Amino acid sequence: GALLALSKPPGLPVLGRPGDLSLDALLPALRRRLGLAAELHVVKAPAREYSGLVLLSSCYHTTKKLQQFFTNARWRGQYPATYRAVTVGVPADVEGEIRTGLCWQQQGDRGVVVPVPAPGRRSLARKDVKSTLTRYHVLGAMGGCALLQLQPRTAFPEQLQVHLTLLLCPALGDHEHSSRVGRVLGVPFFLTPETAPTRTQVLDEELVSRLGLSPRQLHHLPLHIHLQELVLP
């Protein structure tokens, strides 16, 4: 019918400035190639750094109806989106939930997303902080890494990356938040964003060798979070 699904590579933004490469800028060419009469709209797509399922529609009303469905599903306590992630480290529990407040914090000339473990009612009411929840399940583990299924109940920028650092298992290729997980004698612990400046993810030599990368190539390693599945009404 009106729906079209495709897979997005990591690093491609949904929206971009005029002249920049983005999913939105590619839609007219895609429409011509498929011979569609109507304009394509983005119903749901993963964030720039993520890879995975992009849902498009050639019907404006279908687009709005589905977007409202996703919003309502989260309000009802459902999990319409399922992600997969490769993590550096294996969670202590096979499954569970990560609950925390999240907010934007200014650090120098840039804004970063930071956790607020016990947000107050006033900060939540003012929407300075948003209460967030992600359900996770370990699908497999090997060589100090794990494959996780992630189901966010809420939507906040970089929510999944921050939640994985709170599990002390940052996503592979997360050069933004992984520095918040430190290690002493091999035991991981959480560092505050103020004491953990952003840097290229540090991986042990064995993992770098298994990935077939040189130390200089590490900063090109993409974020391993993938939108795997969307539930439709």
What are the pLDDT digits (tens) for 120-159?
Answer: 888 888 888 999 999 999 999 998 999 999 999 999 999 9
| Structural domains in the chain, sorted by start | 3-78 (3.30.70), 82-230 (no CATH)
- Asked if residues 126 and 171 have their Cβ atoms less than 8 Å apart, the reply is no
Distances (CA, A) of 96 to 104, 113, 138, 148, 206: 25, 22, 9, 11, 29
> 7 phi and psi, to 5 degrees?
-110, 125
- How much is the pTM? 0.92
pLDDT digits over 9-25, tens only?
Answer: 999 999 988 889 999 99
Question: What is the token pair recorded at 59?
Answer: 């019907």
231 band by pLDDT with thresholds 50, 70 and 90: very high
pLDDT digits over 94-128, tens only?
Answer: 999 999 999 998 877 788 898 988 888 888 888 88
- Asked if residues 107 and 179 have their Cβ atoms less than 8 Å apart, the reply is no
Rounded Cα gap, residues 13 and 50, in angstroms:
9
pLDDT digits over 59-94, tens only?
Answer: 999 999 999 999 999 889 889 999 999 999 999 999
Please tell me the predicted confidence (pLDDT) of residue 74: 86
Rounded Cα gap, residues 47 and 42, in angstroms:
12
